[in-house]
Amino acid sequence: MSRALRVLWKCLLVLWVSPYSLLGLCIGSLGMLLGGQGRFRDGAFEFYKGPTAWFVRRLPTGSATAGFTLGHVILGQTSEGLEIVGKHERVHVRQFERWGPFMGPAYLGASAWLWFCGRDAYRDNPFEVEAYREAP
């Protein structure tokens, strides 16, 4: 594939996941305005510390959550935590690129179905199974 086509493809992927990325950028930017930190690394924006860390700790997976992905944005508690889960979270970035605006409903729907069937809504979720398989 030529360089021009690769750039065009990447732009289309960014647009495809933009609703989630914009939400993540809003959360992360607000966090930075109130004392958090951020960086761009390996194709994703990462935000951590301050209010962003507070937000991540209050996710349903609890205070043990080191990272949470929204499109091309990864929200975390600490820089060190994001280093540890970086590969795992980038699997989720690629999942967002595949599923686009359907990622949220697909992920939540899978979790709801698993919970309804008496299984672990997080660990048995196919999106998490793939991420743990590719980046343990």
Percent of the chain with pLDDT over 90: 93
Residues in the chain: 136
Q: What is the pTM of this model?
A: 0.94
- Looking at the domain assignment, is residue 11 inside a domain? no
- E strand or H helix at 40: strand 37-41
Q: Give me the domain span that covers residue 122.
A: 18-134
Number of compact structural domains in the chain: 1
- Looking at the domain assignment, is residue 87 inside a domain? yes
Which positions ≥6 away from 115 have C-beta within 8 Å? 121
How many CB atoms neighbour CB 129 within 10 A? 12
Residue with tokens 């493809």: 9
Residue-wise pLDDT for 38-86, tens only, equals 999 999 999 999 999 999 999 988 888 999 999 999 999 999 999 999 9
CA 68 to chain centre: 4
Quote the CA–CA distance of 24 and 79 in Å, as a whole number: 17
- Looking at the domain assignment, is residue 2 inside a domain? no
- Looking at the domain assignment, is residue 6 inside a domain? no
Give the pLDDT of residue 23: 97
- Looking at the domain assignment, is residue 104 inside a domain? yes
- Looking at the domain assignment, is residue 4 inside a domain? no
- Looking at the domain assignment, is residue 57 inside a domain? yes
**What do you get for the CA distance between the two ends of the chain, in Å?**
31
φ/ψ of 42, rounded to 5, equals: 50, 45
- Looking at the domain assignment, is residue 3 inside a domain? no
Quote the CA–CA distance of 47 and 49 in Å, as a whole number: 7
Counting DSSP H helices and E strands in the chain, the numbers are: 6, 4
- Tell me whether strands 37-41 and 44-48 are parallel, antiparallel or unpaired: antiparallel
